A and B are shown apart, each in its own frame.
Chain A
Amino acid sequence: GEDVEQSLFLSVREGDSSVINCTYTDSSSTYLYWYKQEPGAGLQLLTYIFSNMDMKQDQRLTVLLNKKDKHLSLRIADTQTGDSAIYFCAEKVTGRRALTFGSGTRLQVQP
């Protein structure tokens, strides 16, 4: 079946690293995505990873994928107050056109 789970809330101090975790259940996932949503706005694509990759780095963002455990994480280095938002994990499953989203993790960055 399809299910994507995330913790609801994460609080960090400015300058620290943030790690947002996601687990999924469908082993036929082909791509996994991270989106950012600021209040009252749409979703902004941050990064995505193909399921045969273990890691992807893009400036302050690092995505780690453990396919065996079906675990995905997003690390934000040197977290800034502008990073405060809701972060959604999503998966693309073979044979399904749309994405399956988690419920989102609210990241709060304290100055």
Chain B
Amino acid sequence: DGGITQSPKYLFRKEGQNVTLSCEQNLNHDAMYWYRQDPGQGLRLIYYSQIVNDFQKGDIAEGYSVSREKKESFPLTVTSAQKNPTAFYLCASSMATGGQPQHFGDGTRLSIL
């Protein structure tokens, strides 16, 4: 079945540590996105990528980094510069053109030890 796989489901970070969240899709979608969700709030865009080897900052990119070396993969690194990383992180993908809807993975919950 086609879909988006995020791993791990739960992740714990120590102070000063970088952690990487995985996102893989087999939908042959060109565009991929990372969102952050805090309790009782909507989704805020961290980064997005329209094509391999290209990505753009979203509304809250500070303290995060991404890469897009393969069409299927869009990993997100939460760096030590992100002072409040505890949140639910959602990855999404879509066809690049028009208003094609975004399809989401099941999310990774990141907590601070």
Contacts and interface: CB of A to CB of B under 8 A. Distances in A.
Contacts, number: 53
Range, interface on chain A: 20 to 34
B111 to A, nearest CB: 13
B42 A42 contact: no
Given A30-B99, A50-B99, A97-B31, A103 B42 contact: yes
Contacts of A45: 101-104
Nearest to B41: A103
Given A4-B42, A102-B42, A97 B50 contact: yes
A65 B48 CA distance: 28
A88 B106 contact: no
Contacts of A33: 101
5 closest A-B pairs by beta carbon, nearest first, are A31-B99, A101-B42, A42-B104, A43-B104, A101-B43
Given A43-B43, A44-B104, 20 more contacts: A30-B99, A31-B101, A33-B101, A40-B107, A41-B107, A42-B6, A42-B104, A42-B107, A43-B92, A45-B101, A48-B99, A92-B99, A97-B31, A97-B48, A97-B56, A99-B43, A101-B43, A104-B40, A104-B41, A104-B42
